Chain A
Amino acid sequence: MKLSIKRMLRLVSLGSLGIAATLYAIYQLSQSATRPETADPQYIQMLILTLIGLGILLCTTLWQIVSLIRHLRQRHVGARLSLSFALRMLFASLIPVSIVGAFAWLFLSYDLGKTFNSRVTVALEDALQLTRTSITLRARQAVDQTRSLANIMINMSYTDLVSEIEPMRRNANAIELAVFDHQGNLVAFTHQNLAVMTIAPPSTSALLRISQEQEYFEFATDEDGNYIIRVLSDINKLGRDPYYLQVTFAMPEEFNSLANSVSENYQQYRSYSYLQPHITTSLLLVLGLILALTVLTALWLSSIFGDQMTRPVRQLIRATRKVTSGDFSTTVTDMPNNDLGTLGNHFNIMLLTLRDAEAMNNRTQDQLTEQNNFLGTILDNLTSGVLTFDWQSRLQLANQAAAAILSNPLKAHIGRRPQTEPEKALDSFDELMCALAEAFNQSPGNWHQEVTLSRFADRKTLICRGSRLPGQNSRQRGGQIIVFEDVTEFQHNQRNAAWEEVARRLAHEIKNPLTPIRLQGERLQRKLGDKLSEPNDQRILQRATHTIISQVDAMQQLVSDFSQFAKPVELRRQKIDLNALLREIAELYSDADLTLDLQPDLPIITADPIQLRQVMLNLTKNAQEAGGDSPIAIQWRTRQAQNQIVVSVEDDGPGFPDLSKDPFEPYVTNKSKGTGLGLAIVKKIISEHHGSIQAGPSKQLNGAKISFSLPL
């Protein structure tokens, strides 16, 4: 700011100096121009001073303009406004200056002499001619007088000439009489002024003319400025070289006065006529210099005023820019005492208001942030999945538990409406929302629904609850919140506990009578087999006892399975190489279409190898039996994932037809034979190892896939 003021002072000083110098010089020039016939020794100096002053003003103005253009290019705040203001001021001043200048130029260029001086010209020319005519008449008399005197002198001797020349002069009323020989030497002379001691001889041209025409006269002025007639005539001495008589006559005093007046006026008139175009040029030059000074001053003042007048506006623009960027600390100061000052005061008041509002907003934001963080923390620590939707049913928020339960990060669904057509579902979120579509879209209040997901990830059973959120838009339409929990394990454990109780009771109630029944059957066969004579009777007995024994064996097997399922698994843990164990078990299936996809360098785990062998046998058997008589391709795969090892068994069989029922639940089977306890026992063993097991479709073999994970 200080620099700007210093620069401005320098510019103002320089410009003022230029204007002052130019004004002084133009004033002097204009004074000289009003006295066009006089000489002014300072004219050129004033002209140079004017040019120097204009040069200073021009440089100052150019400096200001260049500075303004540089500010424009650098996109300084308010530069365009300053330029606009300066241009308007310039136009506002130039237009009247141009009009005045143009008309002044027109008037100065007009030749007044042509209109008013024509008659004066004629009159002066006539007066001059009249004067000359009167002189000529007088000159004729003088020539005649001189001729007479020359004729008298023809017969005079030198002595007579010397003695008679003065009386002859007086008689002729001449100023002087002089006789020269043919070489121009003075022979005799007389002059009315006795102090005159000599007389200049006639000029060569005069002598030449007298030799041709015998007489010559000239009209001239004497050294006092009086008009005289000088006549030259030859004195022709017969047979001798000629002598010349020169007689000078004075014009009458009245004539001198009139002739001087005519001459002086005519000379002034001719001078003025001659100088008039030059006077016009001089005046036009002064006018041009004045116009140049005016234009440059207008340009200079426009740029100065443009810069100064827009300073408060520039300050306001800068402050406003800071406000738009969020800085409310810059107030405007040093405003002028006018409307702009009032505007600046209002701006400062507005800034204070905005500052208070910003502080309040910040406090509110902080509170909201705290609440959001609090809510976020709660949501992130919930084991239930939470999904919120806006009033247009677009997903707004999903907590970490929701992503974990649905095995989907859900980021791709944020801000989008959920899928409602099952055939277009692409992931577990779509599957969930398709299942909830009816309740989600149509239920006006709270609702709850159990959903089992199985298409895109592991089978899971979810308990979902939905509620409407408060109004979010102008129509008070609110969104919804869905809270869901994964109850798969819970349901499984509940049912498993019930089944274990049933199995325990069955084993206890049925196992005891089976052995006596089988023994009695064998006794009947042994005691009565030989005593029946009829072969037909023997055959019937044989078939009946065989049926009893085989069914009892089957029931014993069933009871054994139930007993195994019901009793707790006793693990004998030891460190094992899982890949090695699987390769050993796979040798049992050398005839089957079994492939191994084992990740090398699996870490050693602590587990019961016998129980794991049971698991793999049950799963492989389950896969083989799923295909019926058709050969089944089976693949075992191991992978390490974070802190666990995942083992999967996949086949290319028909897969699970209905995963809505838990396949690990007892008696859930699609096979014609079997107890349906194989997968239930597998799950129990895996659970005892603190692992997890899931059933689902195989994407690689397009059949069924059962995978279990064991912790490291």
Chain B
Amino acid sequence: MKALPLIVLLSLCRALFAESLIREGRCWQENNLWLADLRTSIFLGQDPIDALKSGIMLYFNYTIVFEPQDQWFGDKKTIQHELRLRYNHITQAYIVENPITLREQSFPTIEGALATIGQLRSLPLIDQALLSPDERYTIAIRLNLAEDKLPVSLRLTALFSSEWEISSDWWNCPIHL
């Protein structure tokens, strides 16, 4: 209970220093599969860029929540979509990795790499069969930098530095089955 004020304070800091912005998005159903397009602008401060160019991998995480509108009794589902960003010192390029498809994309500029990370096209979200037909859902998506996957020695700096508070607001898309 004594840590509650600290947690609230940290959450407040995150909201105040959000460094990402979801510009536009769309969700739709196709072949009993819910898909989403999303375009997010990601702004990296100098500290994260320095860390990246020093060989530290950054983990960007899309948190996708299927939230029943009746929040008290509904079954909330959450899935994660992760993308990794690293720097290759030999090619001097930024590489975006998808750990699911193992596909790597190389970009000579950080902006290109961030644009790719922020661009989701026809991302399969969930099979409609997994959702209760009697419920009305809202798909909420948020992109953030996964601080818990930073090296331990960076966690303390990231905790108190706004440059590491990279998180977008929630983007909501109500869906009707």
Contacts and interface: CB of A to CB of B under 8 A. Distances in A.
A285 B159 CA distance: 13
Contacts of A263: 88-90
Interface in A29-52: 32-33, 35-41, 43-44, 47-48, 51-52
B55 A268 contact: yes
Interface stretch (A270-278, A301-309, A319-327, A592-600): A270-278
A278 B156 contact: yes
B113 to A, nearest CB: 13
Interface residues of A, number: 44
B108 A218 contact: yes
B78 interface: no
A580 B145 CA distance: 130
A282 B153 CA distance: 6
B79 interface: no
A43 B93 contact: no
A43 B91 contact: no
Interface stretch (A127-135, A332-340, A419-427): A127-135
A33 B89 CA distance: 26
Given A268-B55, A270-B54, A44 B155 contact: yes
A43 B90 contact: no
A592 B14 CA distance: 126
A252 interface: no
A501 B89 CA distance: 159
A32 B89 contact: no
Interface stretch (A153-161, A220-228, A514-522): A220-228
Contacts of A219: 90-91, 93
B6 interface: yes
Nearest to A264: B55
B90 A132 contact: yes
A55 interface: yes
A37 B151 CA distance: 5
Given A271-B55, A274-B54, A285-B156, A38 B104 contact: no
Interface string B1-14: 01100110000000
A278 B158 CA distance: 10
Interface string B76-104: 00000000000011110101000000111
The residue in A262, A273, A278 that gathers the most chain B C-beta atoms within 10 A of its C-beta is: A278
B157 A267 contact: no
Contacts of A47: 156, 159
A39 B153 CA distance: 9
B51 interface: yes
B156 A281 contact: yes
The residue in B56, B153, B157, B159 that gathers the most chain A C-beta atoms within 10 A of its C-beta is: B153
B37 interface: no
A278 B56 CA distance: 13
B153 A281 contact: yes
Contacts of B103: 223
A35 B152 contact: yes
B106 interface: yes
Interface in A10-63: 32-33, 35-41, 43-44, 47-48, 51-52, 55
Contacts of B51: 274
A128 B151 CA distance: 24
A279 interface: yes
A266 B89 contact: yes
A262 B90 contact: yes
A60 to B, nearest CB: 13
Contacts of A221: 88, 91, 95, 104, 106
Given A221-B95, A278-B153, A282-B153, A41 B148 contact: yes
B157 A55 contact: no
A259 interface: yes
A676 B7 CA distance: 125
A205 B88 CA distance: 20
Nearest to B151: A37
A352 to B, nearest CB: 55
Interface in A225-277: 225, 227, 259, 262-263, 266-268, 270-271, 273-275
Contacts of A33: 152-153
A36 B55 contact: no
B150 interface: yes
B176 interface: no
Contact of A43 (B55, B56, B95, B155): B155
Given A39-B149, A266-B89, A267-B89, A220 B155 contact: no
Contacts of A274: 50-51, 54-56
A41 B149 CA distance: 7
Contacts of B123: none
Given A263-B90, A270-B54, A51 B151 contact: no
A18 to B, nearest CB: 11
Contacts of B54: 270-271, 273-275
A223 B148 contact: no
Contacts of B156: 47, 278, 281-282, 285
A38 B152 contact: yes
Interface string B142-172: 0000001111111111010000000000000
A266 to B, nearest CB: 5
A32 B152 CA distance: 6
Interface string A588-629: 000000000000000000000000000000000000000000
Contact of A223 (B102, B149, B151): B102
Given A219-B91, A259-B90, A271 B149 contact: no
B14 to A, nearest CB: 13
Contacts of A52: 2-3
A220 B93 CA distance: 7
Interface string A438-468: 0000000000000000000000000000000
15 contacts: A36-B152, A37-B153, A38-B152, A39-B152, A40-B152, A48-B3, A48-B7, A219-B91, A223-B104, A270-B53, A270-B55, A271-B54, A274-B55, A278-B151, A282-B155
**Top 7 closest A-B pairs, CB basis?**
A274-B54, A267-B55, A36-B153, A278-B153, A220-B106, A271-B55, A32-B152
Given A270-B55, A271-B54, A271-B56, 20 more contacts: A33-B153, A35-B152, A39-B150, A40-B148, A43-B155, A47-B159, A51-B6, A132-B90, A205-B108, A223-B102, A225-B104, A259-B90, A263-B89, A266-B55, A267-B89, A270-B89, A275-B154, A282-B152, A282-B153, A285-B156
